[in-house]
Chains A and B, each alone.
Chain A
Amino acid sequence: MSDPVKSPYIGRALKRVEDPRLVKGLATYTDDLRLPGLLHVCFLRSPHAHARVDRIDTSAARTLPGVVAVLTGADVNEHCGIVPCAAEIPDLKSPRHTVLAGDRVYFVGHPVAVAIAADPYVARDAIDAIEVDYDPLPVVVDPEEAIKAGAPLTHPDLGTNIAFTHHVTGGTDIDDAFRRADKIVKERMVHQRLTPMPIEPRAVVASYHRGDGTLTIWSSTQVPHLVRTLLPGMIAIAENKLRIVAPEVGGGFGAKLQVYAEEALCGHLAMRLGAPVKWIESRRENAAATIHGRDQIGEYEVAVKNDGTILGLKARTVADLGSYCQLLTPAIPTLTGLVLTGCYRIPAIKVDLVGVYTNKMATDAYRGAGRPEATYLIERLMDIVAREVGIDRVELRSKHFPAVADFPFQTACGVTYDSGNYQGTLAKARQLADWDQLVVQRANARAAGRLSGIGMSTYVEICAMGPSKAMPAGGWEWGCVRIEISGKVTAITGVSPHGQGQETSLAQIVADRLGVLIDDVVVLHGDTGVAHYGRDTYGSRGTALGGSALVMCIDKIVAKATTLVAHLLGVTADRVVFADGRFSAPGVERRLSWAELAGEAFIAKNLPPGLEPGLEASSFFEPANFTFPFGTHIVAVDVDRETGKVTINKYVAVDDCGIRINPLLIEGQVQGGIAHSLGQVLFERTVYDENGQLLTGEFMDYAIARAGDIPDYIMGSTVTPSPVNPLGVKGVGEAGTIGATPAIANAVIDALQPLGVRHLDLPLTPERVWRAIQQHSPVAV
């Protein structure tokens, strides 16, 4: 057994505390839970995108041996309320989305009935025995068609497919900016719908204790606290009789930042049937009835002078929300407007956004949640504008960067970036990429007739969600730190990691601040019975906000300990010194460890007057602002003329997430995010046909990246601390995805640029690329 690793821990690439149980297969995911008398739940889901439900006959299904119940909307909807939407959108029109369909289904996958049986195989058999008479209704799937008069209505009773409109102007006078421009550069871009596809689909176990009337729900969720807050509004359980547990969660990416119908229904079933119930989502259900991401169509206009100075930016956007609102559905496209101007001084902006209903699954937050769309559009526009105006792409970006001294930097979008050094990451990325050499290689390749391109993105994103004034239900984070009698440390956080490694990174922070061995720190999370408060994990907030809350706790504990030490050592508090995990005073021999202090504090025989026993503190950290991580990605690609296949020859990522707690974890987050971008750029797309049938319902048809798709990375970082929290941390969970998509896309389009291609929508599949080459080539290849 080697020596224990000692402080300092912050900044070190420590192995994760989480890993031993995970690599041994001894971790508990929701489907691993075993409860006596557990029943299994299976859903019957609509095969139609839009239909009236005329009749449901469950009689045959109910007679199958082992089937406990088969229920429909008529049986459960009055007990389960409406799936909540917490987005604060004025004048939002939205359907009342019940947990099972009522007399109408409006997307493929809409749950219609539920079977409960002692065995999951039998529950599935019961589904086959249910008869439903559907009367198909007109379907609308194209959001631009859906806006037009006379389009089929997703919800006839709403009278329109338009859910909301959102208009923002910011900065200086936009009309004046466009009048003064030498050129107006326009482009239309489609941000295709994506399917998050965590490897663990959703899962719920619910158990009701009839004795004390308490309900426990285990769910593969990112947001146990939000679920606990919102479920009482749906099912008949008081908040303080409800416990939500996120066991190990197999990936979220925003898809599990939700309150889902299935969670409410399982809670209701546990109470109704008097037995614990389990629902395990199939992959097909996950593809059809777990939220989708992105899906915006934008018409963008840039007002620019001949010297490349950008005067203003307009965005007219249609957001395809799907057929109803989940938790944040209409809010997500509004986030795009917050970082529309990217890293650049663009003095005037105008956003006109329409949110539209179509007969598809609801969209909502998916890794980046509205900000990847912003970074993609502005970084594509920079390349397009540079070409139109005849300025180098790097120079155009660089000339619009704010200087380091300009931060905090207020943008025309109405947000204030905390800190930034865009020149810094750009310079470092160019150096790591050997930019000049890349340009030479591209020239040589082109001379040899090859299609070769270089792309970049200089990105900034908004995360560490966020100041409560700007959040729908509180953006603070809660923590508790307790020194146990033994001197061991328990840290409890209200964030809910599902792969991000906060059991390790938060322990690094706590151990450093307390001066204890990291092996003596345990971080608890994910159980509302243990972490009483929290705002959970999404928006890259875990370390920045969760860590800051723990720092506040430790500050309080050190202050309390100082008072106690002064009393024990017989000195005034101002003479107490805390260093390396020990308290002392000059001239006094005795030094006190945390274990000794905890003993004093709990046994409490010798406390100063007015000092409570115990050595624990809890805190709410309220951030003054969001944080703004940033970076530069540079990508070099070759494109095969004959097949349209894209090969990445070089990938450089320089990211600045502020103070770096654990470089190994940061690298993992960035690489994981880039893999999502590779998918978005090259092969991912959620496809519904004209009848609203989902054609990408399994991994057979929806491709996510495999190991062979990943290039070798050259990775670097700069460190620009955030002034917004005591740790200086910005967050990194989404930055890779946000920065990578435009860098890769820009590289491919740069490769096609000599053929006259100006823009191509994603995904840049081989066929799409090949067709672009065909259309722009004098002779077919």
Chain B
Amino acid sequence: MISVRLRVNGSEHRRDIEPRLLLVHFLREVCGLTGTHVGCETGICGACTVLVDGSAVKACTLLAAQADGAEITTIEGLATNGHLHPMQDGFWERHGLQCGFCTPGMIMSGVQLLARNAKPTRAEIADAIRGNLCRCTGYTHIIDAIEYAAGRPATGGAR
């Protein structure tokens, strides 16, 4: 067993864990944050994408031990004071999701993109979500959603 301390969405979690515990399982089981999903085991689908020290990573391909001491943001940490993050708003406005399973990871990749490139082209958006697979939407509405988020500040989720 090893001791780790991770700060997730602003809250600290200290645990003794088996070193083989994957970060995604730490988040889901130890922190109880089930918004981050598992869709494959070869690190391709991106449903598990979270931000670790501001960088989008696939939480299924990290040991929790590697994230010891890091600041982690999951999908549950995006909305503030009940207001949707602009990226979440964009996905809602533009029907960027259907079954919703890929969505938390997709949103986190969208957040990463806009932090690095505030006004991406559609081609840049498509490239930025290369590591996020969706089988429902066909992606067009997802790109619309991220464009929307790039253009508009949060509006509080009005219909």
Contact = CB atoms under 8 A, between A and B. Distances in A.
Chains A and B come from one and the same complex:
yes
Interface of A: 1-2, 4-5, 14-16, 18-20, 22-29, 31-32, 34, 121, 196-201, 248-251, 253, 280, 282-284, 498-501, 664-665, 667-668, 671-676, 698-700, 704-708, 710, 713, 736
A199 B97 contact: no
Contacts of B101: 29, 198-200, 248, 250-251
Interface stretch (B51-59, B62-70, B72-80): B72-80
Contact of B139 (A2, A22, A251, A707): A707
Contacts of B158: 1-2
A176 B28 CA distance: 67
A199 B88 CA distance: 20
Interface of B: 18, 20-21, 28, 32-42, 44-45, 47, 74-76, 78-79, 84, 88, 91-93, 95, 97-104, 107, 123, 125-127, 129-130, 132-143, 157-159
Contacts of B39: 199-201, 250, 283
A507 to B, nearest CB: 12
Contacts of B130: 706-708
Contacts of A4: 159
Given A19-B92, A20-B84, A708-B126, A197 B135 contact: yes
Contacts of A23: 75, 84, 88, 91-92, 97, 100, 103-104, 107
Given A15-B159, A707-B142, A710-B138, A199 B99 contact: yes
16 contacts: A1-B158, A20-B157, A22-B103, A23-B92, A24-B88, A26-B76, A121-B18, A121-B20, A197-B135, A198-B135, A199-B45, A250-B100, A667-B141, A673-B138, A704-B135, A710-B140
B93 A15 contact: yes
A16 to B, nearest CB: 7
Given A668-B95, A671-B137, A671-B141, A707 B36 contact: no
A25 B136 contact: no
A283 B37 CA distance: 13
B88 to A, nearest CB: 4
A27 B95 contact: no
B108 to A, nearest CB: 10
A201 B60 CA distance: 15
Given A23-B88, A706-B133, A707-B126, A698 B41 contact: yes
A25 B76 contact: yes
A517 to B, nearest CB: 11
A700 B44 contact: yes
B40 A699 contact: yes
B127 A708 contact: yes
Given A251-B101, A253-B135, A706-B130, 12 more contacts: A198-B99, A250-B99, A250-B101, A251-B99, A282-B41, A283-B39, A283-B40, A283-B42, A284-B41, A498-B99, A698-B40, A707-B139
Nearest to B75: A25
Nearest to B88: A23
B42 A675 contact: no
Contact of B138 (A1, A16, A664, A671): A671
Nearest to B97: A22
A328 to B, nearest CB: 21
B92 A20 contact: yes
A32 B34 contact: yes
Contact of A27 (B40, B74, B100, B159): B100
Given A19-B92, A667-B141, A704-B133, A25 B98 contact: no
Nearest to B157: A20
Q: 7 closest Cβ contacts across the A-B interface?
A: A25-B35, A250-B101, A499-B99, A22-B100, A499-B98, A25-B75, A671-B138
Given A25-B35, A706-B130, A664 B98 contact: no
Contacts of A5: 159
A251 B40 CA distance: 14
Given A16-B95, A667-B141, A671-B140, A24 B159 contact: no
Contacts of A253: 135
A24 B33 CA distance: 11
A736 B40 CA distance: 26
